[in-house]
Amino acid sequence: MQPDMLSTGQGILASQPFSALLGAELTAFAPGLATIELANRADFAQQFGLVHGGVLSYLADNALTFAGGTVLGASVLTAEYKINYVRAARGERLIARATVIAATARQAVCRCDVFIVSNGSETLCATAQGTIVKTGD
Amino acid sequence: MQPDMLSTGQGILASQPFSALLGAELTAFAPGLATIELANRADFAQQFGLVHGGVLSYLADNALTFAGGTVLGASVLTAEYKINYVRAARGERLIARATVIAATARQAVCRCDVFIVSNGSETLCATAQGTIVKTGD
Amino acid sequence: MQPDMLSTGQGILASQPFSALLGAELTAFAPGLATIELANRADFAQQFGLVHGGVLSYLADNALTFAGGTVLGASVLTAEYKINYVRAARGERLIARATVIAATARQAVCRCDVFIVSNGSETLCATAQGTIVKTGD
Amino acid sequence: MQPDMLSTGQGILASQPFSALLGAELTAFAPGLATIELANRADFAQQFGLVHGGVLSYLADNALTFAGGTVLGASVLTAEYKINYVRAARGERLIARATVIAATARQAVCRCDVFIVSNGSETLCATAQGTIVKTGD
C-alpha cells in the first residue's frame, strides 16, 4: 500500500457527494486494486430488510471505477458493468474489492467482489465485472 | 394503468428504506412495465458533478425488479443485471422505464432505459438488462 | 434499405471464415441496424437437441458488431456484451436483429434480439446488449 | 482430478454436435471447475484474421455451463452471461477455464477466463461471468 496514493484516492472519494451521503470509505488503493467499505445502515435496506441491491451496485460500480483509475489515471468513468447478487446481504459492514483484469492505455476491464461482514465473518454477496474508460481523450 | 395496482406498487416502494432515502417515486406499474422517477439532488453527484453511476444503477435495478414483479408477484429479487452508461447525466430529474421481455413462472428477463430530464427534454443516459427471480419457492 | 450498403455488409460477412463455416447471411444492414440469419443445422445442437448457446451467442455478437459498424464504420470490434437465453431454441432458422441504442464517435451501445423460426412463426430465444468500439484509433 | 468424473464430462461434451463441429476438448472437470480447450483453425477467424468473438463466446458459454454442472448435476443450462474481449486473439490454441463463484441448490454463478496460446505462452483474451441453472425442476 502506498500511503500517498491511498490519500489521493480518499480525496477523490470524499469529493463524490453520493459517496459522502452513503458514508463510503476507501481502504485500499494501489496499482491494480481498490477496496471500498461501507458501514451498513437501516436506511440501506429494501422491503425484506436486506441491503438494497442499489447499495451493492453503488459499491461495485465505484470500486470498479477506482480500480480502473489506479492504472488509467484520475479521469475515468465506468462505461458498463454486470453484477450478480449471489446471497442475501444482512450484516454490519460491506466490503467491495476490485481488481484490474486487463488494461490498455484507454480502458481497463475490472472485477469486483462484494462481501457482507456479519459477526466478524465475511460472505460474498455480489460479484461484478465491467469496463472503465478514460474520459477527455 | 390500473390505479389499485399502482397504489400497491407505491406501497412496496415506500417500504424500501433506501428508496425513501433517495426519494424515488413509482409513476407507472402495470402488467409488464414499471417506471420509477427520482428528482435529482446535489448529493447524488460524483466528483465531476454528474449523477453518480450508483444512482443510475439503483434506479435501473429497482425498476427492473418492479417490472418483473408485475408478472411474477411481490416476492421477487433481481438476480443479476448489466448496465451501460451511454451519456453523462446532468439535469433535474431521472426516469427509469423497465419492461418485461420474456417470462416463465419463475423468472423474468427485463430491460430498463434510464433518462435524464433537463429543461423539460429527456435524454437516454443508461440502459440495462437483467433477470428477476421469484423468491421463496 | 440501401442496396449498396447491404452488399458492402454482405462482403464483410463473407470475409469472416467463421461466419462462412456456419452459413450466416446478412439480410438487413442500414444506418442503426443489422439483421443476420442462419439456417439451423443438426450440427448446431447441444446435448439436449436445442440450438447450442454458442450459436446464439455467435449470432448476437456478430449482429451487434454489424449494427455498430453502420454508425462507426468498418473497423469495429465488439468490446463486450451480455446475453440472456430466454427460451429453448428449436426450429429451422435463426434471426438476429440488432439496433444501435446510443453512439458516440468512438463507440456504440447496441441491442440484439435473437428469434427462432419454427413452422414459420418467430419466437424470441435470446436477447443481448453490448458495446461496439472503433479499432485503430 | 477425478478420472471418472472427467470421462463423464467428456462424454457429455462429445454428445454436443456443435462442440464436435468445432473440436472442443474437456481437459479438466472437477467439483467447482471445468476447462475446455480448442485447437485454433483458419475457419475460426473473423475478417481481420483474429479468432472470431463467436468462438470465444462459445468456449466461455460452454465452460461456464460445465463448471456449473459440476455442482448442479448434468441437467443444466446457461441462463445468461457477460463477456469482455480484452485482447486480440491470435495463436494456435484456446483454453477456457471456468470456476464456480457461488451456488445454491438451483443455480451457480460462475466465471471463465479464456486464454490464447501462442508459441507456448498463454495470454488472457476474454473474461466472462454468468448464471447456470438446473433445468427440469
> What are D28-69's pLDDT values in tens digits?
999 999 999 999 999 999 999 999 999 999 999 999 999 999
CA D23, CA D93: separation in Å to the nearest integer? 11
Which of the residues in chain A have pLDDT under 50? Answer: none
The DSSP line for C24-70 is -EEEEEETTEEEEEEE--GGGB-TTSSBPHHHHHHHHHHHHHHHHHH
pLDDT in the model for residue A136: 72
Asked if C108 and C68 count as a contact pair (C-beta separation under 8 A), the reply is yes
Do the Cβ atoms of B21 and A15 come within 8 Å? Answer: no
Residue C31 CB neighbour total at 10 angstroms: 10
Is residue B116 over pLDDT 90? yes
Residue of chain C whose alpha carbon sits nearest to that of B83: C129
pLDDT beyond 80 at C3: no
Q: Find out whether B94 and B27 touch, Cβ atoms under 8 Å.
A: no
Phi/psi-derived region of residue A91, left when phi > 0, alpha when psi is between -120 and 50, beta in every other case: left
> So what's the pLDDT on residue C136?
72
Burial of B7 (0-12, 13-18, 19+ CB in 10 A): exposed
Give tens-digit pLDDT for C45-82. 999 999 999 999 999 999 999 999 999 999 999 999 99
Collect all residues of chain A within an 8 Å Cβ-Cβ radius of residue C107: 79
Handedness of CA B113, B119, B121, B125 (dihedral sign): negative
Say yes or no to pLDDT of B125 above 70.
Answer: yes
Q: What was the pLDDT predicted at D125?
A: 98
The residues spanned by each domain of chain C are: 3-134
Q: What is the dihedral of CA A82, C131, B127, C62, to 10 degrees?
A: -100
CA distance B89 to chain D (A): 25
pLDDT at C75: 93
Give DSSP secondary structure letters for chain A: --HHHHHHHHHHHHT-HHHHHHT-EEEEEETTEEEEEEE--GGGB-TTSSBPHHHHHHHHHHHHHHHHHHHH-SSEEEEEEEEEE-S---SSEEEEEEEEEEE-SSEEEEEEEEEEEETTEEEEEEEEEEEEEE---
Q: Is the pLDDT of residue C99 over 60?
A: yes
Residues of A near B (CB-CB distance < 8 A)? 12, 15-22, 42-47, 52-55, 57-59, 61-62, 65, 77-85
C-alpha cell at C46: 447441444
**B1 pLDDT more than 70:** no
* Side-chain half-sphere exposure of A123, counting CA atoms within 13 A: 13
Q: State residue C1's pLDDT score.
A: 55
d(CA B23, CA B45): 15
Nearest beta carbon to residue B16 from set A15, A22, A47: A47
Most B CBs within 10 Å, among D64, D77, D80, to test the B interface: D80
Instruction: Give the pLDDT score at D1.
Output: 55
Q: Which CATH architecture has domain A3-134?
A: Roll (3.10)
Mean pLDDT of B59-77: 97
Say whether C57 and D52 touch across the interface (CB within 8 A). no
| Exposure of C89 in the CB half-sphere (CA atoms within 13 A) | 34
**Considering only CB atoms, which chain C residues are within 8 Å of D84?**
79-80
Chain Cα centroid distance, residue C7: 16
Query: For all residues of chain D together, what is the average pLDDT?
Result: 95
pLDDT of residue D21: 98
**Chain B: nearest CA to D39, how far in angstroms?**
31
Distance between the two ends of chain D, CA-based, in angstroms?
Answer: 29
pLDDT class of D115 with cuts at 50, 70, 90: very high
Rounded CA-CA distance B21/A1 in Å is: 35
Contact D22, C50 (CB under 8 A): no
**Among residues of chain C, what percentage have pLDDT more than 90?**
93
pLDDT confidence of B2, banded at 50, 70, 90? low
pLDDT of C107 > 90? The answer is yes
